[in-house]
Amino acid sequence: MPQVLRTVAEVRARVSGWKWAGESVGVVPTMGALHEGHLSLARSARAACDRVVVTIFVNPKQFNSAADLEKYPRTEERDAALLAAVGVDAIFAPAPEEVYPPGFATSVSVAGVSEPLEGAHRPGHFDGVATVVAKLFGMTMADRAFFGEKDWQQLMVVRRLVADLNIPVEIIGCPTVREADGLAMSSRNVRLSEKGRALAPALHRAMQEAAQAMRAGTAAPQALDAARAAVLTAGYEAVDYLELRSADLLQPMERLNGDGRLLAAATLEGVRLIDNIPV
Ligand code: PAF
């Protein structure tokens, strides 16, 4: 079993020892409730680094409601067993007071790329993400950090953060892991009923169809309207956004120019699912 470290002092002592020995260190930040998507990040870290730390911390600062934070699954024992099978060296699972001790007063805010899409629908979410990620980098002192492309906007926010603050960590984006029917793996998928789970791949399907239509010459607004309608017809209650944006800066795009990303968020059975694909 990987050793579970609870304090900043413990993780720093462990990582310092590895670094003194000339070993490279990879970190995989997670909030636990691990699935195959997280494990693929841990495997990428395992393949690229001498030592791997997976952080498990349900970050209160990135939740928009106390109920959501409360509902978030905590499955540390099961997570540790899964990570043992991947061969990670340590799990850093601090208590909230270790990360945010009394008197904590700093917030990291990344302008621009964090503002549209998720940023517009979840005010403050990316400030919470940027703050905790900056802290996790400072705490673990890792050389490389592994993030899933599933949270594409988050990945762009983290890249901007480390560039702007000169944080000496290399950010590695890893491909989205999907179920056989195309649904992007997410800790939220288990909240769907059997019926909802069967309907859920309609989001990814509609996005693929829109991408294909745009490549074949359909104007973007038309292709995107058709995709939104298809998602609602399939049984989703709401589409927060389904948009074509530039991949890195997430600026609105009117037509394909080789650097596009289709990003979507939609709600099914009260469960908000997000996805994105290159176009
Ligand atoms: O992607 C997540 O699980 C979280 O946003 C992260 C990066 C672990 C920060 O809490």
| pLDDT tens per residue, range 91-125 | 999 999 999 999 999 999 999 999 999 999 999 99
Q: Which ligand 1 atom is at minimum distance from the Cα of 58?
A: 10
Nearest to 42 by CA among 87, 3, 4: 87
In this predicted structure, what is the pLDDT of residue 257? 87
Mean pLDDT of 4-31: 98
CB 243 within 8 A of CB 262: yes
Q: Which ligand 1 atom is at minimum distance from the Cα of 59?
A: 10
pLDDT digits (tens, 9 = 90+) for 24-58: 999 999 999 999 999 999 999 999 999 999 999 99
What is the percent of the chain with per-residue pLDDT over 90, rounded to a whole number? 98
- Catalytic: 38? yes
Q: Is the pLDDT of residue 17 over 90?
A: yes
Supply the residue whose CA is at minimum distance from atom 9 of ligand 1: 129
pTM value surpassing 0.85: yes
Mean pLDDT of 11-33: 98
Ligand 1 pocket test, pick from 53, 56, 69, 129 with the greatest ligand atom count within 8 Å of Cβ, gives 129
In this predicted structure, what is the pLDDT of residue 67? 93
CA of 130 to the centre of ligand 1 (A): 9
In this predicted structure, what is the pLDDT of residue 125? 98
Q: Which ligand 1 atom is at minimum distance from the Cα of 136?
A: 9
CB 5 within 8 A of CB 17: no
Query: Strand 25-30 to strand 51-56: parallel, antiparallel, or no bridges (unpaired)?
Result: parallel
pLDDT digits (tens, 9 = 90+) for 243-271: 999 999 999 999 998 899 999 999 999 99
List, in sequence order, the alpha helices (H) in the chain. 8-20, 36-48, 66-71, 76-86, 96-99, 118-121, 125-140, 152-164, 194-199, 202-215, 220-234
Supply the residue whose CA is at minimum distance from atom 7 of ligand 1: 29
- C-alpha 142/C-alpha 128 separation (Å) is 20
CA of 255 to the centre of ligand 1 (A): 31
In this predicted structure, what is the pLDDT of residue 165? 98
